Amino acid sequence: MTILDTIIAHKRQEVATRQSLVPVKLLEQSFYMPAQPLSLRRYLLRDDLSGIIAEFKRKSPSKGIINAHAPVERTTLGYMQAGASALSVLTDTEFFGGKNEDLTTARRFNFCPILRKDFVVDEYQIIEAKSLGADAVLLIAAVLSGEEVLRLGRLAKSLGLEVLLEIHNAEELDKTLHPDAVSLVGVNNRNLHDFSVSLDTSGELAQRIPDEYVKVTESGLSTAADIEALRAVGYRGFLMGETFMRHSRPEKACAALVQQLRATEAVTLL
């Protein structure tokens, strides 16, 4: 099995366990259930923000431990103050070192959209995301059928959540893209089989994604030049985690990059 197969098999068991411990009726009592989520789509389209979706991630299967000690509150608040458009918070524990409490902590201290980054395989996780205070959820085309994306996406939208559909190639895009389910399309530049990363993946798929969807590029971004190059071909969202998290103060790394972007934009306007 690939690492993705292993993750999904474990996730299905994990979700079944959580459902038995915390049924949907309890999730529905959350303070966040009646709240109106913020629009990730709108924040990424704002010209006064960077378009960066700054991610809080402790580890990954490909990199191992990235940053085990960064505090959620200081890091995520620092991301927002630095000029990030939105936050992404990993809640998978087994493979990424995250937890649901990371998202609820980020929600308490931030007033920008928060993407719950996890491996969604069941409707329960959509309702759970809303109960944690998330504004958007990730659906991964590599592990879901077109019918599953449609069903999960419609549930998310009924709760006011936006859906970021993650794809790796044109086949996944054609199989799962549906206007009733998806608001944003994210191109993951990481090859799931060998973990290699190429920004060319986003470049090649840019024109395949209809303009009605906000385009997001994920993985491998590290410089202002990367962002500017992909912005030029239509991307408005730039999901960045490891680039920031490998620093002792991730929020300062984010601030430095945003400053570089603003300096570049200022020169362009001259």
How far, in Å, are 16, 28, 51, 180, 243 from residue 155 at the CA level?
19, 14, 26, 10, 33
110 is an active site residue: no
Q: What does the pLDDT look like over 47-84, one tens digit per residue? A: 999 999 999 999 998 889 999 999 999 999 999 999 99
CATH of the domain at 53: 3.20.20.70
60 is an active site residue: no
Average pLDDT, the chain: 95
55 is an active site residue: yes
pLDDT at 55: 98
166 is an active site residue: yes
Catalytic residue from among 85, 169, 189, 219: 219
Could you give the number of structural domains in the chain? 1
268: confidence class by pLDDT, cuts 50, 70, 90: low
pLDDT at 50: 95
pLDDT at 183: 96
Catalytic residue from among 128, 148, 162, 218: 218
Q: What does the pLDDT look like over 183-223, one tens digit per residue? A: 999 999 998 777 889 999 999 999 999 999 999 999 999 99
pLDDT at 37: 97
Catalytic residue from among 11, 50, 57, 202: 57
117 is an active site residue: yes
Say what percent of the chain tops pLDDT 90.
92
Catalytic residue from among 55, 128, 162, 242: 55
113: confidence class by pLDDT, cuts 50, 70, 90: very high
Catalytic residue from among 117, 128, 130, 242: 117
Residue 204 belongs to what domain range? 3-269
pLDDT at 234: 97
pLDDT at residue 270 greater than cutoff 80:
no
Catalytic residue from among 128, 148, 162, 166: 166
Kindly state the tokens that stand for 19: 């459902």
pLDDT at 27: 98
